[in-house]
Amino acid sequence: MSFTLAIVGRPNVGKSTLFNRLVGRKLALVDDQPGVTRDLREGQARLGPLKFTVIDSAGLEEATDDSLQGRMRRLTERAVEQADVCLFVIDARQGVTATDEVFADILRKKNAHVIVAANKAEGRAGEGGYLEAFSLGLGEPIRLSAEHGEGMEDLLSALLPIVDEFEARAALAAEEAPATDVDLGWSGEETEEDAEAPEDWRPSEARPLQIAVVGRPNAGKSTLINAILGEERLLTGPEAGITRDAISVPTTWGGTPVRVFDTAGMRKRAKISDKLEKLSVSDGLRAVRFAEVVVILLDVEIPFEQQDLRIADLAEREGRAVVIAVNKWDLATEREARLQALKEQFERLLPQLRGAPLITVSARTGRGLDRLHDAIVKAHEVWNRRVPTAQLNRWLLGMTEAHPPPAPGGRRIRMRYMTQVKARPPAFVVMTTHPQDVPASYERYLVNGLRGAFDLEGTPIRLILRDAGAKNPYKGKKGLGGPSALRKHLG
């Protein structure tokens, strides 16, 4: 069975390094300075035969007020209460501190299953700290070295009895549950008809819609995601740059299974000198590449700053569907005039995203979230759209008859055939003579025509020109001609 393991402890004891070790990837940011992790990060871990969810948490500090450290502590304590098992990590080289003792008392009250791990225990330097860990009264500690992977077998041995207890409880509950004879309509075996069914791009529990929320610092990204989730899942506050890791959170939003990525605020490169901020921005850029729809969150008071335009251009170059959301709309005055000005700025400054939806929202009050949801779902549908080849070629004929391609040097350009070779984003190949002579302005004419004719507004479109005079590799091979073969060949 699956269970949840929360890794907790003071700052800089190696929690994120251990998290990365358990999930098998460098998901959490790691640095020598304390307090790198601020939000709760979840990952799917595997240790021997066990598969479970592991949570990396912020470092526990003795702060109970509304400061940033106090808010981080409350978030971590909530994870402790919700987790099945807590792994309390101490620094074996520093030994047990007074703060460790305070948190040991808290963990003893908040969670029934607590395992103490003395990290950085490799060599003689950690021997004393490991022995001191017995004084916490939480059972026999485990010697670990998260950086070198030592002690993982001991951690597995400590987890197995707890998992056996969970399984025994689950089996007892199943025996006491009432029987049912309802026909669920599925035998559990895949039929030939199921195996041949085409892959569905629509969001599902197995494949949720991936959404990345990006923008400059203090635009309200974490507050927006908390409003979508309906709970204070991510750390928020008036301080700029609170979020550091790109945190992904699964949920069902308006009936749509989604996974939302909260990213660190992205400033101009010239202003970034801190190594940790560089890592945070890099993590955010990686989230954009994993996403299907990118929500670019603007501040209504300072929209379309230079950095906003760079972020939007990055999303377009990565081929992601884009939705523009203007936050803090509840603070705006003269809203009709302001909205008209925003739309004019959008069309003028981001022509490459023409037709992308622009939605006004208030992350603080939750207004506009239903419209944002609908815009994201529509953008995702357009991003996955496929246009039949017959329709494309009828459209191409009409476009070239209305405005024939130029004839540079007296050589007439003939566009003979067109097909869509992929979606996500839509990509089209045009077989033409002299493709190198087709001007960029005519390519834009075709791309804009595709948007209008096939309702592809707001999604990046890739147009590839190929030489129609090149040798056909399928000529003379029976059964290998036609659009399907061309798509396979062009890739």
16 is in an annotated binding site: yes
Is the Cβ–Cβ distance between 13 and 91 less than 8 Å? Answer: yes
Other CB atoms within 10 A of residue 387 CB: 19
Amino acid identity of residue 78, one-letter, is R
12 is annotated as contributing to ligand binding: yes
Q: Which residues contact 368 (CB under 8 A, 6 or more apart)?
A: 325, 329, 359, 360, 361, 362
Q: Is 9 annotated as a binding residue?
A: yes
Strand order in the sheet with 462-467: 415-422, 427-432, 462-467
Extended beta strands in 215-335, E state:
247-253, 256-262, 293-299, 321-327
Residue at 104: amino acid letter: A
Q: What angle do CA 167, 173, 174 make, to 5 degrees?
A: 90
The residue assigned the tokens 């304590």 is: 77
- The verdict on whether residue 217 carries a ligand-binding annotation is yes
**Annotation-wise, does 264 bind a ligand?**
yes
Q: Is 327 annotated as a binding residue?
A: yes
| 60 closest CA partner among 41, 42, 82, 37 | 37
Annotated binding residue at 462? Answer: no
Q: Is 362 annotated as a binding residue?
A: no
- Cβ(443)–Cβ(463) under 8 Å? yes
Ligand-binding site membership of 330 (annotated): yes
H or E element, residue 484: helix 483-490
Q: Is 408 annotated as a binding residue?
A: no
**Rounded to whole angstroms, how far apart are CA atoms 18 and 405?**
60
Q: Count other Cβ atoms within 10 Å, centred on residue 131.
A: 14
Annotated binding residue 173: no
Confirm whether residue 206 is marked as ligand binding.
no
Helix (H) or strand (E) holding 226: helix 221-229
Q: Is 472 a known ligand-binding residue? A: no
Rounded to whole angstroms, the Cα distance separating 401 from 173 reads 72
Is 20 annotated to bind a ligand? Reply is no
Amino acid at 109: K
Whether 121 has a binding-site annotation, put simply, is: yes
Q: What is residue 236's three-state secondary structure? A: coil
Has 51 been labeled as part of a binding site? no
Cα torsion angle, 436, 441, 444, 450, sign: negative
Check whether 222 is labelled as a binding-site residue: yes
Please indicate if the annotation marks 219 as binding a ligand.
Answer: yes
Check whether 58 is labelled as a binding-site residue: yes
164 is annotated as contributing to ligand binding: no
Strands lying side by side in the sheet with 114-119: 41-47, 50-56, 4-9, 85-91, 114-119, 142-143
Annotated binding-site residue? 117: no
Could you tell me the two tokens for 324? 């523009």
Is 120 annotated as contributing to ligand binding? yes
CB-CB contact of 166 with 3 (8 Å): yes
Tokens of 256: 């749509």
- Please give the torsion angle defined by the CA atoms of residues 270, 271, 277 and 279, in that order, rounded to the nearest 10 degrees: 0
Element (H, E) at 369: helix 369-383
38 near 58, Cβ under 8 Å? yes
Query: Is residue 59 part of an annotated ligand binding site?
Result: yes
Report whether 266 belongs to an annotated binding site: yes
Determine whether the annotation assigns residue 111 to a binding site. no
The answer to whether 220 is a known ligand-binding residue is: yes
Binding residues: 9-16, 56-60, 119-122, 215-222, 262-266, 327-330
Binding residues for GTP: 9-16, 56-60, 119-122, 215-222, 262-266, 327-330
